[in-house]
């Protein structure tokens, strides 16, 4: 097998935090160099996530390693597995996905409680280990996600992060069938899938975003109402009007803007749940303590998902119940993709092909 694997590959490398991306040739780890539990994938495609932009800019309070190959929404074929890997759940030739959580110990308190993403020794794709913006990727057999036969690789790519993240947040949003759920940033990569996963769970989505393109996208995907935050004079009043005056039962905030969090506590009804998903680098969560207590509001942080969440999110999408709206581009366009993301001009998701 090693004879079929070239010595080098094209990869998008961030030499240091804040530096321009370089598309360059990088050495491929040889199959005989793989550690037990590692696997080598020949990549088909990879999604681009706002987190990748943060990793490249280095604007989070937790720094990424550099130099860095970013990316954590990849689909590829297993072309090598490390020697002495015991009980591998995947085999040579399998099509699998790489997620933000690259690896965890599976034995610590967090892992045993189903919070593998909070593992004390977690490895993160495209952050602490090299990710999917390359033609080949080293990943880990226990954490790659099998892609069901017949499910398009390009559509599957963004389910592995954006899809899993919003799926888990909605799953734990303390909502019941028929409840109202508000989705700030609904026209973006996470938000447009949140609308669909919310519908699958029988919820009534209210989309918040701006612009005609995102309005159409959200309404086409099943949002019951759309609030344009550039046109609205009072988002809190608008949400309450849509929900009969009481407010929404839950909000899944996928935007990185702190205002999305502040407003949510105001437009949630008594007993409502704020699911914090978007990750602004330095902003604090400002909300009325009085009304958080007085209205019995729950505020829960929801961070990506575990292996089971990934299986469930992928299965729902593979059955055609959730569709990722994506535009396919080349790896060489990554710099311009980041620019569009920074300006908030990307509707849906960008997937890079190899």
pLDDT tens for the 354 residues of the chain, in order = 445 899 999 999 999 988 889 999 999 999 999 999 999 999 999 999 888 988 888 888 888 999 999 999 999 999 999 999 999 999 999 999 999 999 999 999 999 999 999 999 999 999 999 999 999 999 999 999 999 999 999 999 999 999 999 999 999 999 999 999 999 999 888 899 999 999 999 999 999 999 999 999 999 999 999 999 999 999 999 999 999 999 999 999 987 777 788 888 899 999 999 999 987 777 788 888 999 999 999 999 999 999 999 999 999 999 999 998 889 999 999 999 998 888 877 766 899 999
Sign of the Cα pseudo-torsion (107, 109, 115, 121, in order): negative
pLDDT tens sequence across 126-158: 999 999 999 999 999 999 999 999 999 999 999
Q: Residues 317, 163: contact at Cβ < 8 Å? A: yes
Longest Cα–Cα distance in the chain: 67
Beta strand spans in 151-297 (E): 180-184, 204-209, 225-228, 248-253, 268-276
Quote the tokens at residue 176. Answer: 């019941």
Reduce the DSSP state of residue 176 to 3 states and report it. Answer: coil
Q: What angle do CA 91, 95, 98 make, to 5 degrees?
A: 100
Q: Residues 195, 221: contact at Cβ < 8 Å? A: yes
Quote the tokens at residue 94. Answer: 């399998």
CA torsion, ordered 54, 339, 73, 225, to nearest 10 deg: 100
Give dist(CA 41, CA 96) in Å, integer: 8
Question: Crossing angle, helix 235-242 and helix 258-267, to 10 degrees?
Answer: 40
Predicted model pTM: 0.91
Q: Over 322-337, what HEC string results?
A: CCCCEEEEEHHHHHHH
- Domains of the chain and CATH, by start: 2-160+305-353 (3.90.180.10), 173-301 (3.40.50.720)
pLDDT at 227: 98
328: burial class by Cβ within 10 Å (0-12, 13-18, 19+)?
exposed
134: burial class by Cβ within 10 Å (0-12, 13-18, 19+)?
buried
* Among candidate residues 96, 101, 70, the one with its CA nearest the CA of residue 81: 96
Give dist(CA 133, CA 127) in Å, integer: 12
Q: DSSP letter string over 269-315?
A: EEEEEEEE----SS------HHHHHHTT-EEEE--S--HHHHHHHHH
pLDDT tens sequence across 150-197: 999 999 999 999 999 999 999 999 999 999 999 999 988 889 999 999
61: burial class by Cβ within 10 Å (0-12, 13-18, 19+)?
exposed
pLDDT at 2: 46
Q: Residues 309, 171: contact at Cβ < 8 Å? A: yes
């Amino acid at each position: 097998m090693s004879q079929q694997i070239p010595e080098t590959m094209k990869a998008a490398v961030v030499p240091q935090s804040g530096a321009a991306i370089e598309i360059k040739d990088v050495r491929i780890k040889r199959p005989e160099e793989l550690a037990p539990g590692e696997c080598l994938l020949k990549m088909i495609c990879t999604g681009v996530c706002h987190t990748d932009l943060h990793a490249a800019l280095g604007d989070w309070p937790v720094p990424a390693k550099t130099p860095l190959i970013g990316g954590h929404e990849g689909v590829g074929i297993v072309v090598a597995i490390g020697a002495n890997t015991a009980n591998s759940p995947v085999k040579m030739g399998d099509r699998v996905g790489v997620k933000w959580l690259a690896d965890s110990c599976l034995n610590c308190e967090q892992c045993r409680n189903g919070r593998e993403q909070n593992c004390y020794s977690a490895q993160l794709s495209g952050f602490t280990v090299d990710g999917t913006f390359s033609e080949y990727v080293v990943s880990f057999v226990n954490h790659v996600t099998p892609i069901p036969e017949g499910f398009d690789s390009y559509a599957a790519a963004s389910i592995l992060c954006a899809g899993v993240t919003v799926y888990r947040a909605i799953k734990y949003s303390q909502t019941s069938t028929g409840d109202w759920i508000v989705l700030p940033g609904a026209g973006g990569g996470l938000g447009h899938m949140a609308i669909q996963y919310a519908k699958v769970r029988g919820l009534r989505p209210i989309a918040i975003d701006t612009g005609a393109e995102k309005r159409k996208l959200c309404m086409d995907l099943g949002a019951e109402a759309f609030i344009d935050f550039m046109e609205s004079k009072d988002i809190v009043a608008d949400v309450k009007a849509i929900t009969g005056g009481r407010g929404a039962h839950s909000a899944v905030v996928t935007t990185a803007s702190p205002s999305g969090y502040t407003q949510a506590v105001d437009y949630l009804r008594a007993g409502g749940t704020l699911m914090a998903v978007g990750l602004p680098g330095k902003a604090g969560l400002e909300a009325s303590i009085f009304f958080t207590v007085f209205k019995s509001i729950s505020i829960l942080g929801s961070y990506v998902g575990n292996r089971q969440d990934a299986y469930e999110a992928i299965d729902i999408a593979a059955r055609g119940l959730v569709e990722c709206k994506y535009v396919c581009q080349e790896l060489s366009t990554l710099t311009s993709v980041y620019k569009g993301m920074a300006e908030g001009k990307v509707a849906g998701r960008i997937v890079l092909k190899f």
